[in-house]
Amino acid sequence: MDKKIAIITGANGGMGKVHTKTLVNAGYEVIMACRNIPKSTQIYESIKAETGGSIELFELNLASFTSIKNFAELIKSRYTEIDILLNNAGLLCHKSEVTEENFEMTVGVNYLGHYFLTYLLLPLMREKSRIVNMVSLTYKYGKISANIFNPLSNKEFRRFETYSNSKLALLYFTLDLAEELKGRGISVNCADPGIVSTNIIRMGINVIDYLCDRFFRPLIKTPEKGADTMLYLALSDEIKGKTGLYYVNRKNKKISESIINHPQRKILREQTEEIIRNYI
């Protein structure tokens, strides 16, 4: 029997580590796709020692199209098929930053990087392969404008607003890709983990982060609970044949028709396709 292959972006993070352990224990060969290899090596070695499973650690910087292309070429050179792709990585910038290609960083990593990566890996996807995107309830507050990819000055930058925009974009990508791949039997769904105790909620302000650690983190989801819905969409037999859906706590939540049919969805798709064409 062929080895089942799973790729996890941001596999060294709080939920990423849970995803990695669970998929390894489920019999998958897991590729940990991480930006900071020195920082990730200890985590990789720890999980490998704990599980005794098959794990690889490869560099992937979602803020660099060059890195994404190099990663995809490495995967294609070593594997013929991919069973699971978990687009788990995400960031919530504290200030205005840009990607290597000069796109706004939060949108560039959370959405555009995952979009590019997924399309480069699609040739390896087979019938019954699963793609799961990590979104957020904040998508409801997001907006897609003609300037969504443009760099922002620090005066213009609003971290939660930009994050929400990136998650709405990722939701739209899920819906569009699900429609595109339905005929191939590949499922594409998105998971909302809720508010989870990971580093993404840090503000970068010592006193606020201290108070958050002391009083807020004990009240929110652990990484194990936050990872559960994405793992459910990746592994459960109940998901067979289901695609283009949004899940919270293992339950399908209806997306507003006003969001699904909003003109901004088409605007985003056209803008993104134009960008990607310039880099393939």
Q: Which two tokens stand for residue 43?
A: 């985590």
Could you give the residue numbers annotated as active site? Answer: 163
| DSSP assignments along 12-77, one per residue | TSHHHHHHHHHHHHTTEEEEEEES-HHHHHHHHHHHHHHH---EEEEE--TT-HHHHHHHHHHHHH
What is the edge-to-edge ordering of all strands in the sheet holding 28-34? Answer: 55-59, 28-34, 4-9, 82-87, 125-134, 187-192, 246-248, 251-252
Q: Which residues pair with 7 in a beta bridge?
A: 31, 85
Q: Does residue 268 sit in helix, strand or coil?
A: helix
